[in-house]
Amino acid sequence: MTDLAHTGTAPLSDDGRPGRAARATLRRAAPALLAYAGTRLLGLVVLTVWGAFADKSPHQLLSARWDSLWYTRIAQEGYGYTLHLADGSVHSNLAFFPLLPALERVVSAITPLSAADAGLAVSWLTSLLAAWGIFAVGDLLYGRRVGTTLAVLWGVLPVGIVQSMAYSESLFTALAAWGVYAALTRRWLSAGALAALAGLTRPVGAAVVAAVWMAAAVELLPDGRWRQAWRTRPRALAGVILAPLGWLGYVVWVGFETDSVTGYFDVQNGWGNGFDGGLAFAGFIGGLLIRPPFVAGLGLLLGVAALIWLYTRCVRQRQPLPLLAYGGAVLVLALAAKGYFGSKPRLLIPAFPLLLPIAIALARLRPVRTALVLGSVGLASAAYGAFWLHGSGPP
């Protein structure tokens, strides 16, 4: 892939030694992981102090609210639970993809942890794996300083506290980041397997599939190479076939469970979710703009404009096509979904490629200034996360 040529980092193949490469990558990533862990520790400390004044348990806020309760119930009882609300909404737990509750069930079976605490353990561990993968992508493309800055930026997102909750965002981002890295470095079997697992974690797993397919297209399509791909590049073809199996398999299974080809999408509609091209979200912003004090509407409008500008910067920086495909797909799926508008910042957590332009700019500063900026943003993020979790609405 010519996109990587300017970095001086040679793409790797499936023929390398994964154990040795992993150890070398971990040593190189250690400063980034320590800095990232510091951001998460700061968030937990602020949440604990806030909880002491509010007389609320940080443990309950992190492990037993909103979506985490649904994951825990699936881990304990399996699928089949449906909640009928007074407004006519039908909330089925089939809306939640199975990998996180499956891991909760396994961890709670082999340790003294409850399913809820197992969810926390999975989230905390995979948040470090996600930061490592994000570092690896940034390091591969732009060097160690950018990779470190990118990982810390991901940790200080305004809703970064979700990375420490018993939610699926950390697990998904870990699989996505390493899946994209594998696609960029032509580790086709790893890329396909990670994309399949990401597809078993969240609906946006389709974005990782897009990254793998784009990488394979760059590899196979020029000069008609796809005609002999089964003989000359069988691993690439295997990765392409593997990638969608997780997402597709779960959607098909829900179809059988509901006796409907559109079963999964019907379940999402019961929750008020779905894909409408952003019409409902645009209407929501418009409604806020025509009612005083207008601040919320203006803030959302500026936020959407900033996200689009960041993606445009990613394109102008000529990021590799698989990374653009992944970041763009996450952005579109988050903004164009209807319902649960307050959850959109959380849905954008996996969109780490959008942070690359900021990471590049910060990495050009003196290290002390970079640290001051990231530290200040991290403190603000920790305070906002504590405020957010002590509110009434789900993130």
Mean pLDDT for 310-333 is 96
User: Which secondary-structure segment (H or E) carries 83?
Assistant: strand 82-84
pLDDT at 1: 39
The listed range with the strongest mean pLDDT (12-16, 62-66, 124-128, 216-220) is: 124-128
343: helix, strand or coil: helix
Return the H-helix or E-strand segment holding 46.
helix 18-54
Q: Which pair of tokens denotes residue 168? A: 């699926």
- Angle, CA of 206, 183 and 253, to the nearest 5°: 30
Q: Cα–Cα distance between 82 and 65 in angstroms, integer?
A: 17
The CA distance from 61 to 257, in Å, is 32
Q: What's residue 17's pLDDT?
A: 62
Phi and psi (nearest 5°) for 98? -90, -10
Mean pLDDT in residue range 275-301: 87
pTM over 0.85: yes
Secondary structure of 251-275 as H, E, C letters: HHHHHHHHCCCCHHHHHHHHCCCCE
List, in sequence order, the alpha helices (H) in 55-202.
Answer: 58-63, 67-77, 99-110, 115-142, 144-155, 169-184, 188-199
**C-alpha triplet 308, 312, 315: angle, nearest 5°:** 145
Euclidean distance between CA atoms 272 and 377, whole angstroms? 33
Q: How far apart are CA 134 and CA 350, in angstroms?
A: 10
Q: Is 337 a residue whose pLDDT tops 90?
A: no
Per-residue pLDDT of 211-270, as tens digits, reads: 999 999 888 876 556 556 565 578 889 999 999 999 999 999 999 999 999 999 999 999
Tell me the pLDDT band of 275, cut-offs 50, 70 and 90. confident
